[in-house]
Amino acid sequence: MNNHLEEKKKKEEEEKQRQKEEQGRRQVIHSRLNQFFEKLVSFEIRYNIIQQRLTQVEECQSIFNQSLPLIESTLDSKLGDQKFESLQQNLIQKKQQSNSLIIEFEQHFNNQLKQIQDSIIKQFKQKEEQDNIWKDKIEIDFQNLLKSIKEKELNQVEQYKQLNESILQIKQKDEQDNIWKDKIEMDIQNLLKSKKDSITNQSNIIQPQPDFIENNGEIINNIIKDIYSQTTRQRYVPGQYQPFIHQMQNQSDLAKYYNLKLEQKKTINQYIQGFRKVRGDGNCFYSSFGFGYLQLLIVHYDQNQYDEFLNSVIKKMRFRIQYQSTKIDDEKIETQLREEFIKRLNLIRNLENKVMRQDELFNQFSAYEQNEDQQADGYFYALSTIFFRNLSLHFIEQSEHKDIFTEKDSLLLWEAECNSNEIVISILAQQLKINIIVFFFDKDKFTMMEYNKEAKRKIILLLQPGHYNLGVPKLEE
């Protein structure tokens, strides 16, 4: 860029110098033309004087010619023929000399005029040749400038191609890195699974089979099947979109999914190490928040904290729900739903270590239907959603917003979204003593909202208009 500016500046200086020289040559030609016209004026004056003299001579000749007969007669009378002839010859010689002088002057004048004309023509030819030389030089310079610009453009195109190739290489390397990351994560999962099997075999402990699969109460089975058949099962969902929550994806996947810019990636990556996609079915808020909180409760809370929440919250919570034209508002049915939910929570909580709990929670929560290994039936998601919808309504009714919150009915309506989720999130954060961070993505911008910042435990929600996903906090193990 600097070389281009210097060359452009040099061309401008050369053009100014050429214009200055051109102006000097024009001034010289103008001066010579003035001299020429002054000579023409001088010649014209001389020519007029000569013409006057010639006119006088002609007048004298005319007078002489008029007086010649008289002179001849006088000479005839007074002089002899010989003297007359001598005088006549002298007059003729004088006349011839006068004519010769006129002819000589005219020739001299014509020669001078021709020399001046030749000089002017020569000067104009020289000027035209010089102009042609300058035109050729300017044209050559202009062609060279165009060639230089074209070469620079070609260089820029080449640099752009090289940049694109570099970007492509970086993307390919990033994809390769992601493949390696996925492979490493898979190896870690396999290692953990192997460790889990090893611990199980070494301790000779036979894990209790979840009896809720085979001996699940008929009422619970019928209710949840009816909910799914009238809602979820009514829509065709391809296999890859069936899980209610997906495996964790890394920061690179997060940036691609939300089309993040560099500065946005830097900001979000300070809080998040990855994210989980959540199925978009109208329950996505309760799926995202519910899985996030159950993960804290089952995996990270100590036994006292777990028991306290179980006894003081879950066991006292109602399990009402409404779907299509059906409404569950019966104490006996709600009790069975509540007990089934507690039973399943305890089965996961009683596993040996955190890794096993984490894996089993994901398997139970994500299951769309009964797994081939018979370890998950797809009911845990429904029980969790019913619980967290009732929990949200319970906290709203105990808060200062109970009289102004107009969407209470939507909280208990299956697959219904709430347009006042900010209030629900704020109250959940305060009542459950957790820090909730919401990243709201709208087109190419995002906004960060934080609730109960002082709390230690953290849940991160990723919100686009109409849909929630779950962020994985940076410090999560």
307 band by pLDDT with thresholds 50, 70 and 90: very high
Tell me the C-alpha distance between 54 and 103, whole Å.
11
Share of the chain above pLDDT 90, in %: 43
What is the arithmetic mean of pLDDT over 173-186?
56
Which residues face 441 on adjacent strands? 446
The whole-chain average pLDDT of the chain stands at 81
pLDDT at 201 over 60: no
What is residue 227's predicted lDDT score, i.e. its pLDDT?
Answer: 94
What percentage of residues in the chain have a pLDDT greater than 70?
77
By mean pLDDT, which of 17-21, 83-87, 119-123, 344-348 is the weakest? 83-87
Query: 10 Å Cβ neighbour count for 115?
Result: 10
Q: pLDDT tens digit string along 316-331?
A: 999 999 998 999 999 9
**Is the CB of residue 291 less than 8 Å from the CB of residue 245?**
yes
Q: Which of 69-78, 157-166, 341-350, 417-426 has the lowest mean pLDDT?
A: 69-78
Please give the pLDDT value at position 125. Answer: 76
Taking a C-beta distance cutoff of 8 angstroms, is the pair 25, 130 a contact? yes
- The whole-angstrom distance between residue 367's C-alpha and the CA centroid of its chain comes to 41
- pLDDT confidence of residue 199: 45
**Where does the pLDDT of residue 150 fall: very low under 50, low under 70, confident under 90, or very high at 90 and above?**
confident
Note the maximum CA span of the chain: 184
What is the helix (H) or strand (E) element at residue 471, kind and residue range? strand 467-473
pLDDT single digits (tens) 68-126: 666 556 555 554 556 556 766 776 776 677 677 668 767 776 787 777 777 777 776 77
What is the CB neighbour count within 10 angstroms for residue 248?
17
pLDDT confidence of residue 210: 44
Q: Quick: pLDDT tens for 275-290.
A: 999 998 899 999 999 9
208 contacts 347 by C-beta, under 8 angstroms: yes
Residues 221, 222, 225, 226, Cα dihedral to 10°: -160
**What's 235's DSSP letter?**
S
* Token pair recorded at residue 190: 């396999």
| 138 — pLDDT class (breaks 50, 70, 90) | confident
Sequence spans of domains, the chain: 2-167, 207-473
10 or 374: whose pLDDT is higher?
A: 10
CA angle, 8 then 11 then 12, to 5°: 90
